[in-house]
Structure 1
Amino acid sequence: MNRSKHTFLFLSAFGFLSSINLMDGTKINAQDDFTGTTAIVGAMLLDGYERPPIHHSAILIQGDRIVSVGTQANTEIPEDANIIDGSGMTVLPGLIDLHVHTMFLGHGDYAEWFPIFEGKEEEMMELAAKQLLMAGVTTAVDLGAPIEIINVRDRINDGRAIGSRLLVSGPWIARRAWGSYPSYFQHVVNSSEEAGQRTQELVDAGVDVIKTWAGMEEADIRAVVDVAHQSGIPVHSHLYTPESIWDAIRGGSDVLQHVGSGGNPDYPEDLIEAIAVRNIPIVQTMAHRIWVYPATIAFPERLQDPRLKEDLPGDLYAEFQRSFVDFERLSYFRSTPRQIRNSKTAARQFIDANVVMGMGTDSGSPLNFHTEAAWREISALVDSGMSPAQAISVSTKLGAEIIGRGSDLGTIEVGKIADLIMVAGDPLSNIQILANIEHVMKGGVLYK
């Protein structure tokens, strides 16, 4: 099948988003209006800290806040409370994904995706945000999208769209372009001064974070950091080579993204130590090739996930399936077998060094669906040496702290925003239980 000559006949088939994309100002109600107390009772509670669970717990929620956390035995449940029965389940904080791309939905070929995406950017990004939320990701950092992602973020925040709480970078800043792909999500600069100017433009547009991409040297990153930090905006840097990581460290980047994605040759010990002693957070995004590729070899039926069929119109679903044919030959996976071999040690380097880590997925990349990327990444962290409790803490509490929201997100405790998910069974004994999220609450609202 010739991918490059395939004709896209379905670009007008996007009425499917009308149920979630209400641009006329209508506010969405995810659950029946309820102004009293919600009580989640009977579940095992993992609060986001690396400590033993609370069994047969009781959590009381009023409005968007948690007002009580304890056991059923010591908690008085109001008679008029809305009860969520947690029997046989685990409740834990909503997941925080520190690296997503809502402009992608997992299509097999980036070059073929952009003609589909263009003209429907906001609708597509809203769909991705909804998929993330239904997968238990209550907060996500979008690190590379058209500037219109700000509109999507704002519609979610004011209740006109359903999706994860988004922090967004808009277009990234780079010294070189990504292939021949469109310029609307990447600002290519020719000097450090221009990098600073582009940063100010993004800050003025209302982004929450700045992302630097390929080719940025120390002086370029420093110029970006100087401007961004004046407005309290953090800088995340896309990095793979040791040299680029050193440039980001010396340039003052706040968060190091990818850092080899677990598939690099082992990094020098002095580099690992520099990151560890400086407490610079890293986000590895390990699963999107190294774990997703063999999982698809073993079970290609995952590509026919019913959730994709439900979310996409028939013609677009068929196009996705076409893009997956002979997925082993996709350019995206060209070096994956070598990365898998490297990962035997590379994926563990930062864990063994006890570096500050957050969970990020690069979700939306080929075959890396928003519907499942988070649990696959958390499972990869466990496979690479974390305990399940540590991996959950990295994906909740530490994620909130890295984005500066530790005071109101990331853990289940009194006074914090009620972002909670529930799964059947015990993820401490089988982390892959997180693949099947039974309930999702964001800001006290039950969405699933």
Structure 2
Amino acid sequence: MSIRLRVLRVCLAATLAGLSACASTPVQWASPEGQPKLPPPREINAVARPDAAHCAAIVGATLIDGRGGPPVRDAVVVVRGDRIVAAGARGATDVPAGAEVVRGAGLWVLPGLIDAHFHLEGDDGLPGVILQRGVTSLREPGNWIEAYDAARKLGPTPRLFLAGPLLDGPYPAYPENAMLVRDAAEARWAVDQLVERGASAIKVYFRLPLGLVEEIAKAAHARGVIAVAHLETVDAAAAVRAGLDGIEHITSLGTALVPPREAERYRQSVIADNDARVPGRYEIFRGISLAAPRTRALLGLLVARGTFLTPTLAIFERRAGDAGATETEVRGFENMMKLTLAARRAGVRVVVGSHGKAPGAERGWAYQHEMELLVESGLSPMEVLVAGTLENARYFRVDDRLGSVEPGKLADLVLVEGDPLADIRAMRRVKRVMLNGRWVGPAQAE
């Protein structure tokens, strides 16, 4: 019996018994039954390494290690080469003789931030900018891998976990960034092609029918990568049962949250016209009910399956007073925020993704803006910081080496001024960033 099936049965039994402990039980991704354990995915860029003998110690900062525990005041983090070798309170952590000492008084040290949903959109300099602002790893879920060639030549970039182009059906929403898939054989072939070229995830787009979503998920898992999706015309619950590991965008849940007739009307409008989803998603979300049985059932399924959810609230943000914002858009966005909180409170594995650019954020600050919207939605700052570090590393399947400040992990670190647990906006005050044990310089003003 698969791990997921066992966990699902346990969670269903717990639900029937009126228990809630299962909501926080993480589901570990595993190789398909009967196949050897597959190695975790790798970034496609070679990240520069420091001298293996070089030692640096950050002394006196407050440590948030990414695991969700209380911060450690007056901490010491020791890095040798590209690895963290020690992290803890100053009184219990030695500073090696000859180490480069970085004075951390007044600063907070955290794991490097991980962006689960970034789009380059032709801005080759943007990866370098967000690296200076603390994002040390990103995933682009829907662009040709070679689209990053120019960005990689401009200087240091975050670790690049790329999915390759979207797998979509005929009349794709974004033809230049898509591979067309018309049947199961093409689906398996496309997955093999992308993984051979370095894809660490496979992105399903909304014009593919449910049967092909299932074929792609199976093929991705057989190659040791995850399958994620932007859903508009496929019911989210059905897609999760078909094997998806992650859902991109809170709006992907929409058709599973409204009566079938309304969902079908929206689905047909999008199949007829890609652009119908822009106003349609706000109409859908204006009418959702957080108390409805279908909402509770969907969130329970996401919890039971360990499915990750990347809300990307920032790209849907519509506020009263915004130019051109309608009352439907404002109310729809409010419900998107409420659903994000409800998902997290139910135990859904919510992570942070910026979309690269967002209407309410200046260039290079979309990730921090997304964190702020998640806190405004009701998540605690600590929940958001864990979502953007260790939980995202789990989503990428690289938590054995990234996502937290622990001995043995790679030294991706960010130093910020101020307490992000008191005010998440402190994450904008980046003072220094370390990537793979090397300082990449102070934050640059744009």
Same fold (TM over 0.5): yes
Amino acid at match of 2:307: I
What are the superposed Cα offsets for residues 342-390 of structure 1, whole Å, 9 maximum, x if unpaired?
Answer: 2353232212211112211212355655511111111122112211111
Q: Distance in 2 between matches of 1:28 and 1:206?
A: 15
Residues 1:145 and 1:192: Cα distance change in structure 2 (over 3 Å): same
Q: Distance in 1 between matches of 2:417 and 2:52?
A: 25
1:354 paired with 2:347, answer yes
Task: State the partner residue of 1:282.
Answer: 309
1:173 paired with 2:167, answer yes
Q: Say which SS state the counterpart of residue 71 (structure 2) adopts.
A: coil
Task: State the partner residue of 2:74.
Answer: 56
The one of 127, 130, 142 aligned to 1:129: 127
**Count of matched residue pairs:** 360
Q: Say which SS state the counterpart of residue 130 (structure 1) adopts.
A: helix
The one of 73, 90, 94 aligned to 2:112: 94
Q: What is the deviation of 1:29?
A: 7.9
Amino acid at match of 1:194: E
The one of 131, 135, 138 aligned to 2:136: 138
Pairwise mapping of residues 104-253 of structure 1 onto structure 2 (< 5 A)?
Answer: 104=121, 117=122, 124-125=123-124, 127-149=125-147, 151=149, 155=152, 161-179=155-173, 181=174, 183-240=175-232, 243-253=234-244
Q: Distance in 1 between matches of 2:138 and 2:404?
A: 16
Q: What is the deviation of 1:295?
A: 11
TM-score, with normalisation over the residues of structure 2? 0.74
Q: What is the deviation of 1:189?
A: 2.6
8 Å Cα contact 2:49-2:437 kept in structure 1: no
Q: Distance in 1 between matches of 2:295 and 2:351?
A: 21
Residues 1:295 and 1:80: Cα distance change in structure 2 (over 3 Å): farther
Amino acid at match of 1:414: P
Q: Say which SS state the counterpart of residue 406 (structure 2) adopts.
A: coil
Q: Say which SS state the counterpart of residue 441 (structure 1) adopts.
A: strand
Q: What is the deviation of 1:199?
A: 1.9
Pairwise mapping of residues 19-58 of structure 1 onto structure 2 (< 5 A)?
Answer: 35-58=53-76
Amino acid at match of 2:418: G
Task: State the partner residue of 1:300.
Answer: none
Task: State the partner residue of 2:251.
Answer: 260
Q: Distance in 2 between matches of 1:429 and 1:177?
A: 47
Q: What is the deviation of 1:72?
A: 2.2
Residues 1:252 and 1:52: Cα distance change in structure 2 (over 3 Å): same
Q: What is the deviation of 1:296?
A: 10
Residues 1:360 and 1:335: Cα distance change in structure 2 (over 3 Å): farther
8 Å Cα contact 2:357-2:364 kept in structure 1: no
8 Å Cα contact 1:421-1:441 kept in structure 2: yes
Task: State the partner residue of 2:275.
Answer: none
1:396 paired with 2:423, answer no
Q: What is the deviation of 1:216?
A: 2.0
Q: Distance in 1 between matches of 2:336 and 2:89?
A: 42
Amino acid at match of 1:346: L
Amino acid at match of 2:415: M
**Structure 2: gaps (5+ residues):** 1-45, 254-281, 442-446
What are the superposed Cα offsets for residues 22-78 of structure 1, whole Å, 9 maximum, x if unpaired?
Answer: xxxxx99899x7942101011110001111111000111001001111222233323
Q: What is the deviation of 1:220?
A: 0.5
Q: Distance in 2 between matches of 1:429 and 1:83?
A: 27
Q: What is the deviation of 1:141?
A: 0.6
Q: What is the deviation of 1:334?
A: 11
Q: Say which SS state the counterpart of residue 116 (structure 2) adopts.
A: strand
Q: What is the deviation of 1:413?
A: 0.8
1:376 paired with 2:394, answer no
Instruction: Indicate the percent of aligned positions where both proteins have the same amino acid.
Output: 28
What are the superposed Cα offsets for residues 100-142 of structure 1, whole Å, 9 maximum, x if unpaired?
Answer: 001x2xxxxxxxxxxxx4xxxxxx43x1211221121111111
TM-score, with normalisation over the residues of structure 1? 0.73
Cα-Cα RMSD: 2.8
Which structure has the higher relative contact order (CA within 8 Å, separation 6+)? 1
**Structure 1: gaps (5+ residues):** 1-26, 105-116, 118-123, 298-327
